Structure 1
Amino acid sequence: MSRVMEVDGAEEKNKTESAPTDPRELVSSDDEIDYSIEPEFYGPNIDDKDELWVHKQRKGQTSDAVLSCPACFTTLCLDCQRHEKYVTQYRAMFVINCKVITDQILRETKPKRAPRRSKDCKHSVASNEATQSDEIFRPVCCSVCLTEVGVYDKDEVYHFFDVIPSNA
């Protein structure tokens, strides 16, 4: 009886190997696709329309990147500047799909400088205490999935550090 099953399995395998490879014919029985109807999210001119929309939003300015959320790929910024020193960070003034968390405050801390040694004193005591500067930041999240993507400062500038950049 096992021989019969092997033979039947081999016959079944030969049937599938000779099946047509045209994707239009490889449709499951419960999910039929009508190729005569144009798909809803495709159009021959849609890329041109999208490009015009982006140029209108930027008002003729160029950008270093288009920034997207790393979790849901939602567009967050169309016009930004890349940080000179930290190449994975960006700053922007005009954003979309971003939510500033107003009930949280983040502060930048800077360590105190060690006092200069005088010629009379052989040992100086360095202070390890950190002082708080007047820099106050608020967290910025993607408004779609609430992933934290950066901070917002007192000068109303967004600083993005956890985003996906793409060519502008």
Structure 2
Amino acid sequence: MNPDILPDPSPMVSAEEDNLLSSDDETPASTAPDPLYSQYLDEEDSAWVYQNLRSGHPENIPTNAIPSSPSKSNQLLTPRSSSGSLTCPCCFTLLTMDSQRHEKWGTQFRSILVMNVFVDFSVPLSHTSKGFLKIEGEVNAMEPPKKLNEIECWYKTQCARCGTGVAWLEYGEEVYHFYDCLESS
């Protein structure tokens, strides 16, 4: 081998491959469309939220997305009459994503679908005309006392992560009444 003639350090690249190489990173550019990208993703996501997470008053949500069926394009979608989601005031754990604000007391909310809470069945309260009274009886934190099921009972509900009291469960109606929680819309 002649020492005066050095091999070319760049590999041999054909004209076709040279056209496919990007000038920035020297990697081949793909000609196939990205299966995880769509120019309509934001509109599709917004329509999905309105369709699945909202209810109440009709609202027309026009989208530029390609409809999956002709009946779904520009359909009348309804927003929920929700006050928003609630989080624990101490550890900010999400407690419910759908709540309704109390008509009289603005810091209280009610919800049926909850998460990250623990109902303490060892602390039952009974609602009377004079207010709430603590009921003495069997103490089992995992299930409600059987003899109290026919009267209106409320049970203390805590954040499952930090143990802060965040709500009362109205056992007969299966409604959680939240107080002093952080609201976000």
Q: TM-score, normalised by structure 2?
A: 0.46
Q: Distance in 1 between matches of 2:94 and 2:106?
A: 19
**Match of residue 173 from structure 2:** 155
Specify the SS of the correspondent of 1:103: strand
Give the alignment partner of residue 100 of structure 2, picking from 59, 75, 81. 81
- 1:99 deviates by 1.1
**Structure 1 or 2: larger strand share?**
2
Unaligned runs of 5+ in 1: 1-47, 113-129
**Match of residue 43 from structure 1:** none
Q: TM-score, normalised by structure 1?
A: 0.51
Does the 8 A contact of 1:148 with 1:162 survive in 2? Answer: no
Matches within 5 A, 1:105-116: 105-111=124-130
Kindly tell me the number of residue pairs found equivalent between the two proteins: 98
**Match of residue 96 from structure 1:** 115
Matches within 5 A, 1:1-168: 55=49, 59-61=53-55, 62=80, 63-111=82-130, 134-153=151-170, 154-166=172-184, 168=185
- 1:144 deviates by 0.6
Unaligned runs of 5+ in 2: 1-41, 56-79, 136-150
Q: Distance in 1 between matches of 2:83 and 2:166?
A: 17
**Structure 1 or 2: larger helix share?**
1
- 1:104 deviates by 1.7
If asked which structure has higher relative contact order (CA below 8 Å, sep 6+), I would say 1
Q: Distance in 1 between matches of 2:153 and 2:159?
A: 20
In structure 1, give the amino acid aligned to 2:92: F
